[in-house]
Amino acid sequence: MGISISGMVNSSNTKQSMLLSGRGPDWSIIPSSGKSSKSKAEFTNEIKELARKAANTTSKAELEYIHRRRTQLCAEYMSDVSPDRKALYRQAENALKGQGGNPKCHGSGELTLLDFLEAADGRTDSLAKKKFALAGGGMLTCPILTSGGHGADIYCQGTKVLTYLGSGYGWAYERTPAEREKEREFYGIYFNEYRSLKNGQGAELEELPDYLEEKPSFDRKA
């Protein structure tokens, strides 16, 4: 299953990869269970406003900011159907604490799952063969990366809800079926607004993410 980098979404896979920011997942762009205080109307207004800004800007820097904000808003939009990734991540940290070692803190002053993983790395040859049970039917595995060392895969109900891809790639997540549906809904609102404005301007249209093209209600282009 392929990975898409820097927050770009690829449809045939359901993973989204984030460039490494610190040593833990960036929860502003990775959805985790929680009910937003925003109403559907408030979300819709924010989504459409971002689409209008994207349609009307010619600034690459502003467009990059809009796309980042769009990713953050989409994560918030999905959160009411998301698994509790934050709790699973904390459980995975606790599972690795029990593997021994003397973890060294890097950067922020707080130990992360990667610190515990690096402390355990090399102390046991069987780490990659172990499966750590987490609450709620979750599971942690630590596969050997092609770049060396161990990664971390956190599963929940058969979905790889968090995965560490190694230095330079950072954390990624695989969407659940419920999240995919919410994501299609989000981008449907966004690209319908974007498309209507661009069509009115007679301007070049931004391409639809591949996964939206599976729905017949959308054109091949945004």
Q: Which tokens is 20 given? A: 């490494």
* pLDDT for residue 139 is more than 60: yes
User: Which H/E stretch holds residue 172?
Assistant: strand 171-174
Cα 82 to Cα 16, 19, 28, 35, 78, distances in angstroms: 14, 21, 14, 10, 6
- Strands 159-164 and 171-174 come out as antiparallel
Residue-level pLDDT at 122:
59
Express each pLDDT in 37-72 by its tens digit. Answer: 999 999 999 999 999 999 999 999 999 999 999 999
206 — pLDDT class (breaks 50, 70, 90): low
User: Which H/E stretch holds residue 186?
Assistant: helix 177-201
* pLDDT for residue 213 is more than 50: no
H-type alpha helices, 57-111: 60-78, 85-97
Residue-level pLDDT at 218:
31
Residues in the chain: 222
Express each pLDDT in 169-186 by its tens digit. Answer: 889 999 999 999 999 999
* pLDDT for residue 17 is more than 90: no
* pLDDT for residue 205 is more than 70: no
Per DSSP, the three-state class of 104 is coil
Residue-level pLDDT at 209:
56
Q: What percent of the chain has pLDDT over 70?
A: 70
140 alpha-carbon distance from chain centroid: 18
Sorted by sequence, the CB contacts under 8 Å of residue 184 that are 6+ apart come out as 211, 212, 215
* pLDDT for residue 161 is more than 80: yes
Between 129 and 191, name the one with better pLDDT.
Answer: 191
**Dist CA 181 CA 44 (whole Å):** 16
* pLDDT for residue 2 is more than 50: no
The average pLDDT across 177-197 equals: 95
Between 190 and 100, name the one with better pLDDT.
Answer: 190
Q: Per DSSP, which regions of 127-166 are E strands?
A: 131-134, 138-141, 152-156, 159-164
95 — pLDDT class (breaks 50, 70, 90): confident
Between 189 and 96, name the one with better pLDDT.
Answer: 189
Residue-level pLDDT at 5:
31
Residue-level pLDDT at 219:
32
214 — pLDDT class (breaks 50, 70, 90): very low
